[in-house]
Structure 1
Amino acid sequence: MRKHTLAAVVSATALTLAACGSDGADSGADDAAAGDYPKGPVKVIAPADPGSGWDLTARAVAADLAKEKIVTTPLPVENKPGAVGTVFLADMVEQQKGKDDVIAVTSMAMNVNTAMGQTPYSYKDVTMIAALSAEHFIVVTPKDSPYQDLDSALKAIADDPGSVPVGAATDDQFPFSLIVNEAEGDPTTINYVTYEGGGEQSTALLAGDVQLAIAGVSEFLPLLESGELRPLAVLAEEPIEGLDAPTTAELGYDVTIANWRGFYGPPEMPEEAVAFWQDAIEQLSTSESWKATAEKNQWTTQFMKGEDLTSYLDKTQQQVDEGYALVSGG
């Protein structure tokens, strides 16, 4: 099997991120806790449609912060879809500078968008607050699909790419392209149909508009549990507890990518607000409510902030750039 540096780096992160957040419970967080921030509601933005991984994360975090009484002011969740998060990213940079009443969910999509040249902005242009979790990707198909396993689906794509429409958000196309490349297919010929979230992809799968789809496990979990969708592979080294699906490692594909998720604020976000949210998210990461939420959605808790987060994002961006060049023929 050919090795992909990106896959190795991202999957290895699952072993290291949990140890990266210990430097954040500093005097800044204590000062924020002692102050009067936040004075009113803070909007939690999911820059994608309802049912997407970002949407699920935003609503789960807002609910658990309230349940644990970590944050007592209102946390209204708003969906702001558009071009895989780049529309709201531009709004955050250009319109929200210096504000303290808005935070947004982000993920590895931010790295992928930068690699693809989809936006002039990146994680360096906003205030990165903290990473909270990681989620493995999964490839699914309808229960009555002719594809009984990943190998048959990849063979069909190699033989006639246009005949196999694949539903995927732009950033989710990246890991699927790596699998096709592993199978000695041509990633540049894949017939992608772009959707911003698992909700749209599920509808398209059940309607027959696409034959395969890839997204985070949680985005397909209800239909996997009901049997309406069949899992072909989880992009992971080890099986996921409670999910009857083979891993890409078991199937001989060396592509095991987990999608990190976290939160960012506007550029020049006040230090008091940054410290408050870092402290709140760190408290949440060890709470009983979040542990139950993570288990329910098959998320791995991986808290990280400050220099650890910056270093990780820099390294991830480098590897995503290299990987995108591979699958795009660049």
Structure 2
Amino acid sequence: MKKSVFGVMIATALLMTGCTDSGPDSDATPTSESAPYPDGPVTMTAGADPGSGFDLTIRSVVDALQKEKIVETALPVQNRPGGSGVDYLATMVEDHRGTNDQLAVTSLSMMVNQVSGLSEYGYDDVTMIARLMSEYYVVVTRPGGPLADLSSVIAAIASDPSRVVVGAAHDDELPFGLLVSAGGGDPSEVRYVTQEGGRAQSTALLGGEIDVAIGGVSEFVDELSSGNLTGIGILADTRIPGLDIPTARELGLDVTLSNWRGIYGPPDMPTDAVEYWQTALGTMVETPTWKQIAERSKFTTTFMIGDEFDKFLADTQKDVETGLQQAPR
């Protein structure tokens, strides 16, 4: 099988560099001596549909911050879907410059969208606050469906791409394309139906509108645990504890790939607000509430801020640029 250079590069960049905690002192409290920030609600935005990875992440952040009484001001959550974060990123850049009351969740998709030409903006255009976590991609289907394992799915696409309909957000087409390439197929011929998130994909799968879907583990973990959906391949080095899903490598497809997620604010966000949120989020990831969320959602906390986060972003952007150049079209 064809080896995925991009899968190896990105997985290494995201996981090997993500196991350190460079956050602020966990005993610190997110307060400002000079001003009572925040002095009003701070809007928390997921640039994708309810049930998406963005949505689950931002709601988990709000839940942990408020349950642990780290932030007691109102944190209203809004969904602003469009282009896997492309549309709201533009809104943040163009409409909220210099403000201190807007936060949003982002991921590897920010880089993929910019490098592939879907977005004119990237991480340099906003205030990157913190990296929170990483999770692997998983391929799922409905129980009793015609394609019950990943090998059959990839073989079917290689022989006749019209046979298989795949649900995926725009940025999730890349990891699925790597699987197809590793199995000898042509990624450019895959029949995709664009769906921004696990909830929409699960509904489409159970309704027979698509045959398989791909997304982050957290987007499907409840449906997998209940047996409503079946995981047929995970793009991890080893199996994830608690999920009986074979890795792509076990099935002869040499692809591993994970996705990072983090929080960003508008360009020119005031320094006191940035420091407040870095401290608040650094405190949050050490709490029992957050650790319970991470265990339930099957993601790994990989908290970063400051110079370490800046280096991670720059290195990963380069990996994405190289990977997209090398990825089969």
Q: Note whether the superposition's TM-score is higher than 0.5.
A: yes
Aligned equivalent of 1:65: 65
The alpha-carbon deviation at position 16 of structure 1 amounts to 2.8
Aligned equivalent of 1:101: 101
- SS class of match (2:230): strand
Aligned equivalent of 1:16: 17
Aligned equivalent of 2:138: 138
Aligned equivalent of 1:198: 198
Aligned equivalent of 2:151: 151
The alpha-carbon deviation at position 25 of structure 1 amounts to 4.7
Contiguous gaps of at least 5 residues in structure 1: none
The alpha-carbon deviation at position 297 of structure 1 amounts to 0.6
Contact 1:105/1:261 (<8 A) preserved: yes
More displaced 10-residue stretch of structure 1: 319-328 or 282-291: 319-328
Cα distance change of structure 1 residues 2 and 315 upon mapping to structure 2, 3 Å threshold: farther
Residues 1-330 of structure 1 correspond to what in structure 2 (within 5 A)?
1-12=1-12, 13-22=14-23, 24-25=24-25, 32=32, 35-327=35-327, 329=329
CA distance in 2, matches of 1:266, 1:303: 20
CA distance in 2, matches of 1:20, 1:227: 35
CA distance in 2, matches of 1:131, 1:34: 26
Contact 1:168/1:201 (<8 A) preserved: yes
CA distance in 1, matches of 2:154, 2:255: 14
Partner AA of 2:198 in structure 1: G
Cα distance change of structure 1 residues 123 and 73 upon mapping to structure 2, 3 Å threshold: same
Deviations 1:52-110 (A, max 9, x none): 01101111110110111111111111111111111110010000000000100000110
The alpha-carbon deviation at position 285 of structure 1 amounts to 1.1
The alpha-carbon deviation at position 33 of structure 1 amounts to 6.5
Partner AA of 1:305 in structure 2: I
CA distance in 1, matches of 2:327, 2:50: 29
Deviations 1:207-247 (A, max 9, x none): 11110100111111222122221111011001111001001
CA distance in 2, matches of 1:33, 1:291: 30
The alpha-carbon deviation at position 31 of structure 1 amounts to 6.8
CA distance in 1, matches of 2:211, 2:168: 11
- SS class of match (1:49): coil
Contact 2:133/2:260 (<8 A) preserved: yes
Partner AA of 1:159 in structure 2: S
Deviations 1:17-64 (A, max 9, x none): 131524x459x9877377411111101101111000110111111011
Contiguous gaps of at least 5 residues in structure 2: none
- SS class of match (1:259): strand
Partner AA of 2:236 in structure 1: A
Partner AA of 1:229 in structure 2: L
CA distance in 1, matches of 2:15, 2:325: 24
Contact 2:181/2:328 (<8 A) preserved: no
Contact 2:134/2:302 (<8 A) preserved: yes
The alpha-carbon deviation at position 313 of structure 1 amounts to 1.3
More displaced 10-residue stretch of structure 1: 65-74 or 96-105: 65-74
Contact 1:31/1:272 (<8 A) preserved: no
- SS class of match (1:19): coil
- SS class of match (1:295): helix
Partner AA of 2:50 in structure 1: P
Cα distance change of structure 1 residues 33 and 54 upon mapping to structure 2, 3 Å threshold: farther
